[in-house]
């Protein structure tokens, strides 16, 4: 069974631009969560989608948004990029009711 | 609200020595607890999980953790460290029915020959 895939793996953007990251969950998983990892703030929850609906949201500004498609693939978008948005963005999909999350390799975003 | 505290940002052991990584949690409801490992430039890999069944949980790569409610702890151990265990380890907590994982700040494990 294929794992969680994320594209692209690396991305360099300029301040003020916007970016879209993609995540394909493990086949059969319907919940997708996004996390931001930075050296200063650690791992922080962004949002979670289940059956195309945002079910939970972390404490991030409205510049961060996401969506989920009918095939459970998810995208997150960051608009008006700031230097502080430079981070590893991790996607995870969930199996069953025990909240066991499987993570993808991440997208490393660098904002210059 | 839920939180986890990982004591020690860095832990150094010799190859073959006991590994002990500490995690204490705070939760207003029965928690689900997890340990993840992260190798450089990679995502997180699940080592083991506690979901209110057995309090002693065995995971992959010889790791295990014991849930102690009285101490609100979920420490990760491995009897004998290997060089390949060098990585960053994260403890995480979540509540039943919610997918939001709350992570600790991580502990970097260094293994010397």
| Residue ranges of chain A whose CB lies within 8 Å of a chain B CB | 4, 31, 33, 35, 42-45, 48, 50, 55-56, 58, 90, 92, 94, 97-106, 108
Q: Is the pLDDT of residue B53 over 90?
A: no
Q: In the structure encoding, which two tokens stand for residue A87, read together?
A: 């981070």
Of A34-43, B8-17, B88-97, where does mean pLDDT reach its minimum? B88-97
Q: What is the mean pLDDT of residues B64-76?
A: 95
Give the model's pLDDT for residue B98. Answer: 65
Extract the residue ranges of chain A whose pLDDT is less than 70.
1, 96-99
Q: How confident is the model at residue B51 (pLDDT cuts 50, 70, 90)?
A: confident
Distances (CA, A) of A12 to A5, A15, A18, A54, A89: 19, 10, 11, 27, 13
Q: Which residues pair with B48 in a beta bridge?
A: B35
Residue A52's pLDDT is: 93
Find chain B residues with C-beta within 8 A of A100's C-beta. 34, 46, 49
Closest partner residue to B44 (CB to CB) among A45, A90, A94 is A90
**pLDDT value at residue A33:** 95
Other beta carbons within 10 angstroms of residue B44's beta carbon come to 28
| Residue B28 or A6, more confident | A6
Q: Let me know: does B63 contact B77? Beta carbons within 8 Å.
A: yes
């Amino acid at each position: 069974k294929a794992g969680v895939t994320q594209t692209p793996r690396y991305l360099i953007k300029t301040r003020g631009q916007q970016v879209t990251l993609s995540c394909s969950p493990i086949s059969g998983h319907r919940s997708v969560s996004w996390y931001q990892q930075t050296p200063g703030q650690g791992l922080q929850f962004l949002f979670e989608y289940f059956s195309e609906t945002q079910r939970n949201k972390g404490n991030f500004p409205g510049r961060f948004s996401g969506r989920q498609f009918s095939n459970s693939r998810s995208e997150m978008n960051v608009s008006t990029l700031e230097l502080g948005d430079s981070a590893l963005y991790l996607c995870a999909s969930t199996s069953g009711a025990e909240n066991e999350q499987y993570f993808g390799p991440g997208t490393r975003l660098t904002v210059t | 609200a839920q939180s986890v505290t990982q004591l020690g940002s860095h832990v150094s052991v010799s190859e073959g020595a006991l590994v002990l990584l500490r995690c204490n949690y705070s939760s207003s409801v029965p928690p689900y607890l997890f340990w993840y490992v992260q190798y450089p430039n990679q995502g997180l890999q699940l080592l083991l999980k506690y979901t209110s069944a057995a309090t002693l949980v065995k995971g992959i790569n010889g790791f295990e953790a014991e849930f102690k409610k009285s101490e609100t702890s979920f420490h990760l151990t491995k009897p004998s460290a290997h060089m390949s265990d060098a990585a960053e380890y994260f403890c995480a907590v979540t509540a039943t029915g919610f997918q939001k994982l709350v992570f600790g700040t991580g502990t970097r494990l260094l293994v010397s020959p």
